[in-house]
Amino acid sequence: MLNQTMLHWGNSYRALRALPWVVGLITAVAYVICTPGFDIFQMAWLWAIPMLLWSTTKPTWKSWLLVSFFAIWAAKIAILIWLRHIYPPLGWIGLVLATAYFTLYPLAWLAFVRWLFPRTVGAAIHTRLVIQFGLAGAWVLLEWIQSWLFTGCPWVLMADTQWQNPLMLSLCAWGGPWGLSFAIMLFNIGLARTIHRFVSERPGEMKPAPGPLGIMRNLSPELYVGVIPVLLAFVLFFRASTHIRSNAETLFTMAAVQTDFDPNAKWDPEQFRQNANTVRTLTLTAAQLSKNHLVYDARDPQTAPRIDNIPATPPQLILWPEAALPFHVGESNYDEFLTEIAKSTASTLLIGAVSRNELGYYNGIYSVTGEGVSPEFYAKRHLVPFGEYVPFAKILPLRKIVPVAEDSLVGERDFPLPVSIGSRVLLAGPLVCYEDIFPAMSREMALLGADFIVVVTNDAWYGREAGAYQHASHCAVMAASLHLPVIRCGNNGWSGVFNPLGYQQSLKDASGSVYFQGAGWFEVTGVSRHLRQPTFYMQHGDWMVTMSGFFTLWAYLRNRRWRRKKSAESV
């Protein structure tokens, strides 16, 4: 009998010791599957609940931080596993170091949760609401810090999990990505508080009210607060979609050319001629696409447009990816090559390319018509560490992780690029590669009058996994934040168009994959400049970050005051 009792106690003890790791595992899985590539975006509204509930048991700080760190680190590794493809084996080292660094921000938030959320148990409603807003604000504040600290890398913000949910994206027009992230975390906290109330309080204390609405009276007020932004999104979405759809027009038609070159082999001189011929063929084929023939897959000859079905009006704009060819704009042979293609297609080329001067090279976006290469171009301003430059190269023995040894020059143009499209000149807000993950850069272009945002990138570095989807998700948030169309072209990955509400059209093959060599036709719609209404976020910027900082500070000070009061009473 004694042995059975001891065995029962032993099993119970082992189960209790394993419980925190089960909570961490559930949290890690939920955190992963809500991100782009997995796209169960509903899980973003629930992922933090297990940890919030566990915090109410007041686990030891050692146990809490240990489980939190490994849960988030495992999730970050799963989300960013594609980093291993970048110039291996250095990519594996980058995966370990980058994910460990990115883990620090959610870990800091979870430490704040352990310190504050248990205080909601038995507290007055005003205290609980201060904590709810403070925790949601702390998450946003940490996301914002991540966007600028050490040059910044706000990769896959909580708002980006909703990139396929235009209804919730409507909140971005008011608070930017920070507003949507705040709403998601506010809901997580409110629902966790309600679950805790139903589970932990004795049935006799609930006092259910009669009638069909009785249970609603027993829901925690924090849940109602968390639901308010969700309900507000319906109103904002209806309002925005009514205005945009009633005033939208076709700005231009375009074709995106997806080259699918190996990013390492592309710089091999032996492949220069072959790559140039491939791009030329793809571009000439793209010029034959139309509304009746949307996609060309170079692997499938049957998708090539027929001679008897060539459109009378070719796409007005043909978009190439970042650094599409390893030639320098400004060299006579390359400029003649580009001009000849533009004449042959009767379209404007908007291309990712490099150019040189006596100091080095620029990675930029250039416009080409039948008259030649425009002297105005955009050069990338926010360079990728270890990809386009090496930080602290004179102090530490570090090296770049790409096959281009020379550092890129920082661009100086910080205003839109005029592009001749048909009979009109439109202003393009240019962004190269990961510049599109920084909300301030696209907002700057919108404020300066951009008619659309253009992103060229080379996501082939990421392999054929979730990396391209994670990168593209920022463009959906950008479009919804600014109510501007966003056009995007990648060497291999996500190419396509986001309309001003965040709806997406992507270049896909017959199997639904975005990974292939080919081209696609798109119609770009938007509101003309004289009818366009600037969004609240465009006008006021990161006001939501300021409010989040205020909420965080308020919660911190109130909790400090409560603790001092409790200490005084105990004495």
Look at the alpha carbons of 543, 545, 546, 552 in this order and tell me if their dihedral is positive or negative. Answer: positive
Mean pLDDT for the stretch of residues 13-34: 87
Say if 515 falls within a structural domain: yes
> How remote is the C-alpha of 260 from its chain's centroid?
22
Predicted local confidence at residue 399, as pLDDT? 52
In this prediction, residues 17-27 reach a mean pLDDT of 92
The reported pLDDT for the residue numbered 118 is: 95
Same domain, 65 and 94: yes
Residue 420 within any structural domain of the chain: yes
Cα–Cα distances in angstroms (integers) from residue 529 to residues 170, 176, 248, 433, 549, in the given order: 20, 21, 11, 26, 34
Does 527 lie in the same domain as 557? Answer: no
Highest average pLDDT, of 10-14, 333-337, 529-533, comes from 333-337
Pair 214, 340 in one domain: no
Q: What average pLDDT does this structure show over 500-508? A: 96
Residues 254, 206 share a domain? no
Same domain, 46 and 88: yes
470 and 555 inside one domain: no
β-sheet bridge partners, residue 454: 430, 487
Q: Are residues 365 and 315 in the same domain?
A: yes
Distance CA 334, CA 351 (A): 13
Residue 180's pLDDT is 98
> pTM to 2 decimals?
0.92
With a cut of 50, say whether residue 76 has pLDDT above it: yes
Structural domain including 455 reads 249-380+408-531
Does the pLDDT value for residue 7 go beyond 50? no
Helical (H) or strand (E) element with 522: strand 518-527
Check which CATH number belongs to the domain holding 423 and give it: 3.60.110.10
Gap between the Cα atoms of 400 and 383, Å rounded: 12
Pick the range with the lowest mean pLDDT from 268-282, 408-422, 493-507, 553-567. Answer: 553-567
Structure tokens at 561: 């005051």
Q: Is the bond leading into 89 cis (omega within 30 degrees of zero)?
A: yes
Question: Are 198 and 276 members of one domain?
Answer: no
Shared domain for 175 and 318, answered yes or no, is: no
What is the model's pLDDT at position 395? 55
pLDDT in tens, 206-226: 555 555 555 566 678 999 999
pLDDT reported for residue 219? 75
pLDDT of 394 higher than 80: no
The answer to whether 519 and 282 have CB atoms below 8 angstroms apart is: yes
pLDDT at site 359: 84
Answer yes or no: is 238 within a domain: no
Same domain, 208 and 285: no
Residue 90: its pLDDT value, please? 81
Cα 77 to chain centroid, rounded: 17
Band of residue 10 on the pLDDT scale cut at 50, 70, 90: very low
Q: What percent of the chain has pLDDT over 90?
A: 74
Tokens of 375: 């002297």
Evaluate whether residue 114 is within a structural domain.
yes
Q: What radius of gyration do the chain's Cα atoms show?
A: 26
User: Does residue 351 fall inside a structural domain?
Assistant: yes
pLDDT of residue 423: 87
Mean pLDDT, residues 453-466 taken together? 93
* Residue 473 is assigned to a structural domain of this protein: yes
> How many Å apart are CA 496 and CA 350, to the nearest integer?
14
Contact 518, 508 (CB under 8 A): no
Amino acid symbol at 395: I
How many structural domains are present in the chain?
A: 2
User: What's the first-to-final CA gap in the chain, in angstroms?
Assistant: 47
Q: Which residue has the higher pLDDT, 4 or 275?
A: 275
Residue 556 is assigned to a structural domain of this protein = yes
Whether 418 and 499 map to the same domain: the answer is yes
Q: Interhelix angle for 125-146 vs 543-570, to 10°?
A: 130
Bridge partners of 357? 360
Amino acid 201: pLDDT:
63
Q: Could you tell me the pLDDT band of residue 1, with boundaries at 50, 70 and 90? A: very low
**Per the domain annotation, does 395 fall within a domain?**
no
* One domain for residues 475 and 552: no
* Contact between 103 and 73 (Cβ < 8 Å): yes
Residue 418 has pLDDT above 70, yes or no: yes
For residue 173, the model assigns a pLDDT of 98
